[in-house]
Amino acid sequence: MTRRYFGTDGIRGTVGKPPITPDFVLRLAHAVGRVLKRSEERPTVLIGKDTRISGYMLESALESGFNSAGVDVVLLGPLPTPGVAYLTRAQRASLGVVISASHNPFPDNGIKFFSAQGAKLPDAWEQAVEATLEEDPVWADSASLGRTRRLEDAAGRYVEFCKSTFSSELTLRGLKIVVDAAHGAAYQIAPMVFHELGAEVFAIGCTPDGLNINHEVGATHPQALVDAVQTHKADFGIALDGDADRLQLVDAQGRLFNGDELLYLLADDRLGRDEHVPGVVGTLMTNMAVEVALKARGVHFVRAKVGDRYVLEELEKHRWLLGGEGSGHLLALDKHTTGDGLISALQILQACVRSGQGPAQLLADLKLFPQVLINVRLKPGDDWTANSRLADETQRVTTELGESGRVLIRPSGTEPLLRVMVEARDAVRAQACAERLALAVGA
């Protein structure tokens, strides 16, 4: 069954346009509630949100929809997505619900769900919800309606959980850290976590007004962090996105480290402490240098489709712990069940404090391969998969590059474009190979 509403990370769109309307969200919650009641007589769901002004409206719609199906609701208020995942598990709730559009601008919003174990739910569950949406509602009678309460100090509980993932033998005392919460869900929590571990904290992007989430700050606009680190002469800069599940990191010299580098740093730190790291999961876009460096150290590397849920699926399949994306979604499954920007940052800082070295020193041996990306416009009706010249040229380039490079060709999901990407140790060679492939597309 093809999913009509659910995408790779829940349901997302522009507020006021289907499906992000209060009437649909009420029906969605009612349908989810009915699915939950098939296996549990009196389910309880937790609802958290980011700082978008539309969160109030959608929260009310979700609450009504769940209550109408006989499901109890616990409101968490503004809380990072991974915080909702944690509390769902800690509170033994039936389901966690997050109202957020992550790194998108404020006119957008979305709904995503976590299982009782704090993990992303499978496609089959989403399909069951969509099938129930097509049925007539079954309203609970007055005596069976769900009740709603608020969980006091949800933020404080999550702060303590984050701190528990940082070694009790270490401290951030003596470090100056700029924290940029993108005017999002972690605006209170992120500065508190680093401050309580001993750091001197300079906060930016921590004054939400409902309309400024992700606006020129946060993980998707890291220049604000780079500037603030230099202004305050800080040791580190930490930037999160609107729901705080991704991370960007800056060192004292203003150098920005992407998710690929940070993923390797996490693996390298564990290897350096003689921990067993059987394998790491990246994505189709992960820089090949990470794969080469890990394999040289005897660590298997697997590529998943782009999207943290696919990284998680591969990790669970192989029973590995570490994975991530270049965008800064990092997973350490022995620390949390889902990607968490704050916990990832703490793991990086822990490695730096323990070693007495900065991230640039820890990554001195990792040289990212140059990447060349060319977008080629497709003509209406073009089937690039049937292009024999492109297939032949791709094979030739792949053979020429061998283990010193790779080719990735994929269609855009939003435009009639074919994205041709070549990675190679040598930038000139990468450019030449990419141009050859782009010419073959248009032939």
Please state, in angstroms and as integers, the Cα–Cα distance from residue 417 to each residue in 301, 375, 377, 413, following that order.
Answer: 29, 6, 4, 8
- Domain of residue 317 covers 258-362
What pLDDT, in 10s, does the model give residues 27-48?
Answer: 999 999 999 999 999 999 999 9
Query: Among 179-188, 209-218, 416-425, whose mean pLDDT is lowest?
Result: 416-425
Identify residue 65 by its one-letter amino acid code.
G
Calculate the average pLDDT of the chain.
96
Half-sphere exposure of 247 (CA within 13 A, CB side): 29
Catalytic residue among 54, 68, 100, 102: 102
358 vs 9, more confident: 358
pLDDT over 70 at 1, yes or no: no
- The residue out of 315, 342, 362 marking a domain boundary is 362
pLDDT at residue 207 tops 60: yes
Q: How is residue 415 written in tokens?
A: 């435009």
The terminus-to-terminus CA distance of the chain in angstroms comes to 37
Rounded Cα–Cα distance for residues 368 and 423 (Å): 10
> For residue 418, what are its two tokens?
């074919």
pLDDT higher than 60, residue 196 = yes
Answer yes or no: is pLDDT of 105 > 90: yes
- Give the mean model confidence (pLDDT) for residues 173-196: 98
Nearest CA to 205 among 257, 175, 241? 241
Take residue 77 and report the two structure tokens written for it: 């208020």
Is 409 part of a structural domain of the chain? yes
Give me the mean pLDDT over the 169-185 stretch: 98
CATH number for position 201: 3.40.120.10
* Closest to 73 (Cα-Cα) out of 149, 151, 145: 149
93 falls within a domain? yes
Instruction: Kindly state the average pLDDT of the residues 358-362.
Output: 97
Q: How confident is the model at residue 416 (pLDDT cuts 50, 70, 90)?
A: confident
Residue 100's nearest CA partner among 185, 183, 179, 182 is 185
What is the C-alpha separation between 143 and 339, in angstroms, rounded? 39
pLDDT of residue 380: 84
Residue 443 scores a pLDDT above 60: no
Task: Give percent of the chain with pLDDT exceeding 90.
Answer: 93
Q: Number of helices and strands (H, E) in the chain? A: 14, 18
Are 437 and 392 a contacting pair, CB within 8 Å? no
Could you tell me the pTM of the whole model? 0.92
Give the pLDDT of residue 182: 98
Q: What is the DSSP string of 210-230?
A: SS-TTSS-STTSTHHHHHHHH
pLDDT value, residue 8: 78
ω into residue 411 within 30 of 0, thus cis? no
| Number of neighbouring beta carbons within 10 Å of residue 6 | 20
Indicate the residue type of 35.
Answer: V
Task: Assess whether 22 and 149 both reside in one domain.
Answer: yes
Rounded to an integer, what distance in angstroms lies between the CA atom of residue 378 and that of residue 393? 18
- Are residues 264 and 349 both part of a single domain? yes
| Annotation says 388 is catalytic | no
- Do 243 and 275 lie in one domain? The reply is no
Q: Which residues of 126-140 are buried (b: 16+ CB within 10 A; e: fewer)?
A: bebbbebbeeebeeb
Which domain-ending residue is among 330, 362, 394? 362
Residues 188 and 75 grouped into a single domain: no
Percent of residues, the chain, with pLDDT higher than 70? 99
Q: Count the domains in the chain.
A: 4
Single out the residue in 332, 362, 392 at which a domain terminates: 362
Residues 77 and 141 in one domain: yes
Per-residue pLDDT of 307-347, as tens digits, reads 888 999 999 999 999 999 999 999 999 999 999 999 999 99
Q: Which pair of tokens denotes residue 155?
A: 């933020």
In this structure, the answer to whether residues 18 and 132 fall within a common structural domain is yes
Q: How far apart are CA 240 and CA 322, in angstroms?
A: 19
pLDDT at 415: 79
Claim to verify: residue 98 and residue 139 sit in the same structural domain: yes
pLDDT at 300 over 90: yes
* Cα–Cα distance for residue pair 222/259, rounded to 1 Å: 13
Do the Cβ atoms of 427 and 384 come closer than 8 Å? no
